[in-house]
Amino acid sequence: MDYTRRDFGKLALAGVPAAALLERSLVVSLLGAERPNSVINGVHIGTITYSYRSMPDQSAQAVLKYVVDSGISAIELMNGPAESFAGAPAPQRGRGGRRGQPQTPDEQAAQRGAADHLKNWRLSVSMDKYRALRKMYTDAGVTIYAWKCLTPSMSDEEFEYVFNVAEALGCTHTTLELTDDVAQLKRIGA
C-alpha cells in the first residue's frame, strides 16, 4: 500500500504515534532507511514527545525508541524524559486535595517544597547530562529541534536554565503553553 505525504502527515500529526498504526517494516519501506528520516519532499515532519504520553515507559531511552519506531527524525522534547535522564527529583504525585476540594495548607506546603527542590536541582545540574542526551538521540538519527519546559511563573534563573538546556540539546527554540499575559511573554523574551 502506498502512502502519500498527506496520508503520512495525517498519521503523524493526528496525535497518535505512527508506531501504533504502522508496522516497523512498513515505516522502513516507506521511509527507505533503518534510521528514521521524516523529511518528505523537503519538509521535515516532527512530533512532540507528548504524543507518546500513553506509553508505559516515559524514560528518555523509551521515548527515543517510540520516536525511532514511528520513523520520526525530529522532535519537540517534553521536559519530563529530559529532566529525568539528567537526574531530576521525582515529580510529586497528584496535586493533593480531594476532587473538587482546595488543597489543605499542608498539601500546599508540600507542593511548594517539591517546587523549590526541583528549582534548586535545575540551578545546579550539569549541562553535560543534557549533552549526553543529545548525543544519544543524534546517534539514533533524531534531532531535538525544541524543548518544552518554560512556564511564565519561572524565576529568571530558571529561564536561564531552560535556555542553557536548549543549547545543550541543540535546539533551535524552546516552547511553552500560550499565555495571554503580555508582560510575562516580554519577561521571557528579555
pLDDT tens digit string along 90-128?
876 655 556 778 889 998 899 899 999 999 999 999 999
| Higher local confidence (pLDDT), 151 or 50 | 50
The number of distinct structural domains making up the chain is 1
The closest alpha carbon to 156, from 130, 118, 123, belongs to 123
Contacting residues for 119 by C-beta, under 8 A, at least 6 apart:
155, 157, 158
| Higher local confidence (pLDDT), 29 or 105 | 105
Return the DSSP state at 153: T
Worst-scoring range by mean pLDDT, 8-12, 15-19, 42-46, 127-131?
Answer: 15-19
pLDDT band at 3 (very low <50, low <70, confident <90, very high): low
Dihedral pair phi/psi, residue 148, rounded to 5°: -110, 105
Contacting residues for 152 by C-beta, under 8 A, at least 6 apart:
176, 179, 181, 184, 185, 187, 188
Mean pLDDT of the chain, nearest integer? 83
Whether the model clears a pTM of 0.85, i.e. scores above it, the answer is no
pLDDT of residue 190: 72
pLDDT of residue 166: 97
Return the DSSP state at 110: H
3-state secondary structure at position 48: strand
Residue range(s) defining the domain that contains residue 9: 5-93+102-189
pLDDT tens digit string along 41-61?
999 999 999 999 999 999 999
pLDDT band at 22 (very low <50, low <70, confident <90, very high): very low
pLDDT of residue 93: 66
